[in-house]
Chains A and B, each alone.
Chain A
Amino acid sequence: MIREGDAGVAEGRIAVAMSGGVDSSVAALLLHGQGRDLVGLSLQLHDRSEGDPGRFGRCCSPRDFLDARRVADQVGFPFYVLNMEEEFRRAVLDDFVAEYSKGRTPLPCAHCNSEIKFGVLMRRAEGLGCGQVATGHYARLGRDPATGRTRLLRGKDREKDQSYFLFGMTPEQLDRALFPVGDLTKEEVRKLAAEAGLRVAHKPESMDICFLSREGYRGFLRSELGDAAPAAGEFVDREGHVLGTHDGVHLFTVGQRRGLGLSGEQAWYVLEIRGEKRQVVLGREGEQYRSSCSVPRPNWIGMEPPRRSVEAAVQIRHRHPGGEAVVEPDGNGSVRIRFRSPQRAVTPGQAAVFYREDEVLGGGFIGSAH
């Protein structure tokens, strides 16, 4: 079941997690072209049969499942929809709501990858006789010849790279994962889909968090939290002067400028959110830069947990170019990141992922920024 060598060739059946989009469809197409035995699986993550049908975003729409089903039918492999509503709620939605309630900005895709796609799905796929799970992520896998360890690398298409969201994968998960489109650009993926006549070749991209509807995260939190939403609080400046009031810390994210409802010539930015004090700290342009942050208990992929400081490029949000930094272990399994130059909007709840060139060394969620 474990992959042999760098090519990632293994015997046995592969589960392809299919969203109905072009990336996972082409992932399946490529594996099928290699003569692999595939099972297509789409994940039902919300019960759409009850309540307002617009409550959740486009994710898990019957339309997407039908697209995936048709691709499976056209390419020629079996396809099923797996129900994971309960697991998704526990692993992803509950965390999402809890983090915002604490004034942090969660990263649900990272939880979904680690706990749903390469967690629950990988276990269920094993029950279906699948030793590996393939997805349409733009990331690459390699093997360290010295240690035999599976390496996680940025996707070839740097624009589309999704390795940031995969930092939490364990060695066991990486050994059983396949990212067939990681060596391709989006353009190449679309071209392959079009050449194969897949109906999803020109399907528009889903950019946002999959379970959010047009109402965005605020609408989602409103329906999830109801009366349990965080209470109103104060806007303060760095010295603690009260600047105004707000409707709850869950409505803000570090770095935010718009929608603060404060007047004045100069723009205010959210510098910090103090969940317990219900305070949102505001400042002016230039004040939202931080030179260090804590990352409790990161996951290490490309190296053993270090005893001494390591140099890395640390990416603190999706599409952030990465800032040169020193990653300092504290001896208790957590690290402090010291950036060479201050970074804008270092946001608690987002991930800090440590790279050496294209390789993911490790990563974790940002605890606090200083």
Chain B
Amino acid sequence: MLETYLDYNASSPLRPEVAAAISRVLEHGYGNPSSIHRSGHRSKVVLEAARESVASLLGVGPEGIVFTSGGTEANNLAILGAARARGPGHIIVSAIEHSSVLEPLRHLETEGYPVSRIRPDAGGVVDPADVLREVQDDTILVSLIHSSNEVGTLQPVAEVARGLRPRRVLLHTDAVQSAGKVPLEAGGLGVDLLSLSAHKMGGPPGVGCLYVREGVTLVPLLRGGGQESNRRAGTEAVALLAGFGAAAELAVLELPAEGARLRALRDRLEEDLSGRIPGLRFHGRPDRRLPNTASVGVAGCRGEEMVMALDLEGIAISTGSACSAGTVRPSHVLEAMGCSPEEARSTLRISLGRGTTEEDLLRLAESLCGIVARIRGAGRWAAVPLGAAPGRTG
């Protein structure tokens, strides 16, 4: 079956150049980058080259890059590491963060850190004034996602950074979903901590990084050897990190043109869908979004059902809901934006990427039209509760 992959925000297919970079390391049997011998030396060279590539994507020096096992670890290290280094204090966070930011914070609350959560407007954008107004004398950390993984809205990270500058408050941004999709200069943004994940930008799953501005101290999550300048113990996954580096280089090279291309495709898709399917609602302010993400509510249809039906036709997308272990809770992001649970449950997330073509999107629109009609028409004969059926009796 023809496969159309439109779920780049979940994971993006490995770029061939990235696969080649990973294979090179795996095939040549490099050693432990901390070893003295030549085999270790070769790994160290690869590792540091990758660090430089990732650093240049962020416009920072390589010494600020702490490699991790992915975006979740980077977010955990940022939140828990910074909070524990600064001691108990107040933390501000947006209500539309990824769960790998929200859950460590929930844990910190049990340790006595008060947490304020800032809701976005109905368009899914947080007002920087709302964040700054919440800052108190004992505020130690603000965490504001760079772009929402679910609806793609870009958050005013630079404005918040400017407002925080006179204060001794750290600013973390989870930029996992933005990397490779919009320009991302950690220096220019003015953040202290920034999380990335390789597999959201054409790299392999299993690696990511936390950028840590010079002078910011963190209490490490993993202790052991002195890797990553004592900020993250454990032998580095050199092969995967080589892939991360290769993906970062590609992103630097391709970003401006690719961003414009995806935006044009995405906008055309939204237009196409609105013209063909009644009862759609697009989430997220159109002027403040990632170029590759469309989040659309389809009245009267469950997200998971549409996703399954599309999958049966060879099209991979996802719901607007965060699913884990078979549990579907309405998306906390859409709820924070004021959507009803029912609206949140009827939402699809379509995310484009490097391999996406106009044909893919035409195919999606065509299939979705048929599926929505079918789901909306299903169950006209719907069963009545057993034992309460007056219709079928003598």
B contact residues around A39 at 8 Å (CB): 308, 312
Is the Cβ of A364 less than 8 Å from the Cβ of B305? no
Interface: B375 (CB within 8 A): yes
Is the Cβ of B383 less than 8 Å from the Cβ of A114? yes
Interface: B328 (CB within 8 A): yes
A contact residues around B371 at 8 Å (CB): 127
A contact residues around B324 at 8 Å (CB): 49
> How many interface residues does A have (CB within 8 Å)?
48
Q: Contacts A80-B308, A299-B389 hold; do A172 and B381 have CB atoms under 8 A apart? A: yes
Which B residues from 272 to 309 make CB contacts under 8 A with A? 301-302, 304-305, 308-309
Is the Cβ of A48 less than 8 Å from the Cβ of B325? yes
Q: Contacts A81-B326, A126-B374 hold; do A168 and B386 have CB atoms under 8 A apart? A: yes
- A75-115 CB contact bits vs B (8 Å, 1 = yes)? 00010111101000001000000000000000000110011
A contact residues around B87 at 8 Å (CB): none
Secondary structure class of chain B's binding surface, majority of residues: loop
Interface 9-residue window, one of A117-125, A209-217, A232-240, A276-284: A117-125
Which B residues from 368 to 393 make CB contacts under 8 A with A? 371, 374-375, 378-379, 381-383, 385-387, 389-390, 392-393
Is the Cβ of B394 less than 8 Å from the Cβ of A65? no
Is the Cβ of A123 less than 8 Å from the Cβ of B379? yes
A contact residues around B374 at 8 Å (CB): 126-127, 129
CA distance A141 to B312 in the complex (A): 28
Is the Cβ of B393 less than 8 Å from the Cβ of A124? no
Is the Cβ of B308 less than 8 Å from the Cβ of A110? no
B: interface residue count bin: 20 to 34
Nearest opposing residue in chain B for A305, CB measure: B394
CA distance A334 to B379 in the complex (A): 28
Is the Cβ of B327 less than 8 Å from the Cβ of A305? no
Is the Cβ of B393 less than 8 Å from the Cβ of A297? yes
B contact residues around A306 at 8 Å (CB): 394
Is the Cβ of B304 less than 8 Å from the Cβ of A62? no
Interface: B258 (CB within 8 A): no
B contact residues around A62 at 8 Å (CB): 325-326
Is the Cβ of A307 less than 8 Å from the Cβ of B385? no
Is the Cβ of B382 less than 8 Å from the Cβ of A82? no
Q: Contacts A115-B386, A127-B374 hold; do A83 and B379 have CB atoms under 8 A apart? A: no
Is the Cβ of A44 less than 8 Å from the Cβ of B327? yes
Shortest beta-carbon distance from A119 to chain B in Å? 4
Interface: A185 (CB within 8 A): no
Nearest opposing residue in chain A for B381, CB measure: A172
- A49-61 CB contact bits vs B (8 Å, 1 = yes)? 1000000000010
CA distance A118 to B381 in the complex (A): 11
CA distance A20 to B381 in the complex (A): 29
Interface: A164 (CB within 8 A): no
CB contacts between A and B, total, < 8 Å? 105
Shortest beta-carbon distance from A125 to chain B in Å? 8
Interface: B228 (CB within 8 A): no
Interface: B311 (CB within 8 A): yes
B contact residues around A343 at 8 Å (CB): none
Is the Cβ of B390 less than 8 Å from the Cβ of A128? no
B contact residues around A122 at 8 Å (CB): 379, 383
A contact residues around B393 at 8 Å (CB): 297-300, 305, 333-334
Is the Cβ of A127 less than 8 Å from the Cβ of B378? yes
Interface: A47 (CB within 8 A): yes
Interface: A339 (CB within 8 A): no
CA distance A333 to B389 in the complex (A): 10
Nearest opposing residue in chain A for B383, CB measure: A119
Is the Cβ of B386 less than 8 Å from the Cβ of A173? no
CA distance A246 to B379 in the complex (A): 46
User: Which listed residue (A91, A126, A168, A334) contacts B378, Cβ 8 A?
Assistant: A126
User: Which listed residue (A44, A60, A170, A305) contacts B383, Cβ 8 A?
Assistant: A170
Is the Cβ of A123 less than 8 Å from the Cβ of B382? yes
Interface: A355 (CB within 8 A): no
Nearest opposing residue in chain B for A41, CB measure: B308
Which B residues from 332 to 385 make CB contacts under 8 A with A? 371, 374-375, 378-379, 381-383, 385
A contact residues around B302 at 8 Å (CB): 124, 127
Interface: A329 (CB within 8 A): yes
Is the Cβ of B386 less than 8 Å from the Cβ of A111? yes
- Residues of B at the A interface (CB closer than 8 Å) are 301-302, 304-305, 308-309, 311-312, 324-328, 371, 374-375, 378-379, 381-383, 385-387, 389-390, 392-394
- Residues of A at the B interface (CB closer than 8 Å) are 13, 39, 44, 47-49, 60, 62, 65, 78, 80-83, 85, 91, 110-111, 114-115, 118-119, 122-124, 126-129, 168, 170, 172-173, 296-300, 305-307, 329, 331-334, 364-365
